[in-house]
A = this chain, B = another copy of it.
Amino acid sequence: MTTTEPRIIPMGLALNEAMDIAMGLDEKVFLLGEDIAEPSGGVYKITKGLSTKYGTHRVRKTPISEAAIIGAAVGAAIAGYKPVAEIMIMDFIAVCLDQITNHAAKIRYMSGGQTTVPMVIRTSAGAGRQFGAQHSEMLEAWAVHTPGLKVVVPSNPADAKGLLISSIFDPDPVLFVEPMLMYWDPQYACDVPVGDNRIPLGKANIVREGKDVTVISYGKQVHDAVKAADILAGEGVSVEVIDLRTLVPLDEATVLASVSKTKRAVVVHEAVTRCGFGAELSSRIHEELFGTLAAPVARVGGQNTPVPYAKNLETAFVPQVADIVAAIKSLNK
């Protein structure tokens, strides 16, 4: 295969490649997490093959001890390693948040810059598989509220790969949120360049240009935003779709330039709306562009409820394409 031909792979494989490349480039990179070594290569198989290639000292199965996992990563990072810790499902960060927020995030600051914590916490997240209230949440807002953490949420395999390599070599702790439903679903597969194609943190992607409304999203919801844009294109509404890719650092310039042009914005995410990242972004847009907007920034997010189990309720919890379409239309009144 030559690199010019498209190479359509799912996000799970792209993430695997990213870790493979990083481990090949730098022996200080190592992985730790529950079940990540062979023969299973992780419950979602994201680390498949890596322990065979790099050894179980660098692809480390751990006890079910999330605080110990993150703590070990913090210490090793200070000592010069670049650990990539896996927390299987995002809701579980609640059992180890102290290590993430009080330690990984604050140590550079508390030491006056003497000790740094270059590590990545990979975690899978999102509803849609009827995993219930304790296995379905998107909790990126907690991390965005925690100075010292960077926060990345890729929306497609190519970005996932490029952003993960950048995150691993970033000098600061990164919470890397992987939309669980996208791992192996071929509908989300895309062309992923071979090799070390990094995507810088803090650079949003204008997925689709438009002139009437800007929809700002990240993760899986970017696809729904594009679908909404498709629907509305048929009705003569031109929708610009921005994929933030990283929430911290935030590419505010790209967002503001777009909204300055369209004068209308919708922020879409799956996380609970109340105090979600949409609130932050909506506030900033209003602060910066007040008086130039044609409508208030709309937020389309998860319902302000735990994630329910029954399929119909779960679907109603998660923002749908129709909700995005409705929100956009409400701004055009």
A287 to B330 Cα, complex, angstroms: 12
Contact check: which of B101, B109, B141, B306 meets A305 at CB < 8 Å?
B109
State how many copies of this chain the complex holds.
2
Q: A274, B97: Cβ atoms under 8 Å?
A: no
Q: A145, B274: Cβ atoms under 8 Å?
A: yes
Q: Which residues of B contact A286 (CB under 8 A)?
A: 282-283, 286, 296-297
Question: Is A299 located at the chain interface by the 8 A CB criterion?
Answer: yes
A278 to B287 Cα, complex, angstroms: 12
Contact check: which of B287, B299, B303, B305 meets A299 at CB < 8 Å?
B287
Q: A275, B133: Cβ atoms under 8 Å?
A: no
Question: Is A132 located at the chain interface by the 8 A CB criterion?
Answer: yes
CB distance from A292 to the nearest CB of B (A): 11
- Would you list 7 pairs from A and B whose C-beta atoms are within 8 A, ordered by A residue? A97-B97, A145-B274, A275-B280, A282-B287, A283-B286, A287-B299, A290-B296
State the interface size on chain A (CB cutoff 8 A).
Answer: 50
User: With A282-B283, A286-B296 given, is the CB distance from A276 to B97 under 8 Å?
Assistant: no
Q: B145, A133: Cβ atoms under 8 Å?
A: no
**Other A-B pairs, 14, CB within 8 Å; known A92-B98, A144-B275:** A94-B97, A94-B100, A95-B98, A109-B133, A109-B306, A142-B142, A147-B304, A275-B279, A275-B280, A282-B286, A282-B287, A287-B296, A287-B299, A290-B296
Question: Is A38 located at the chain interface by the 8 A CB criterion?
Answer: no
Contact with B along A68-98 (1 / 0, CB 8 A): 0000000000000000000000011011011
Interface residues of A in 110-166 (CB under 8 A from B): 110, 132-134, 139, 141-142, 144-148
Q: Which residues of B contact A298 (CB under 8 A)?
A: 287
Question: Is A21 located at the chain interface by the 8 A CB criterion?
Answer: no
A105 to B133 Cα, complex, angstroms: 10
Question: Is A256 located at the chain interface by the 8 A CB criterion?
Answer: no
Residue of B nearest to A110 (CB): B133
Q: B105, A306: Cβ atoms under 8 Å?
A: yes
A299 to B293 Cα, complex, angstroms: 19
Which one of A94, A145, A272 has the greatest number of beta carbons of chain B within 10 Å?
A145
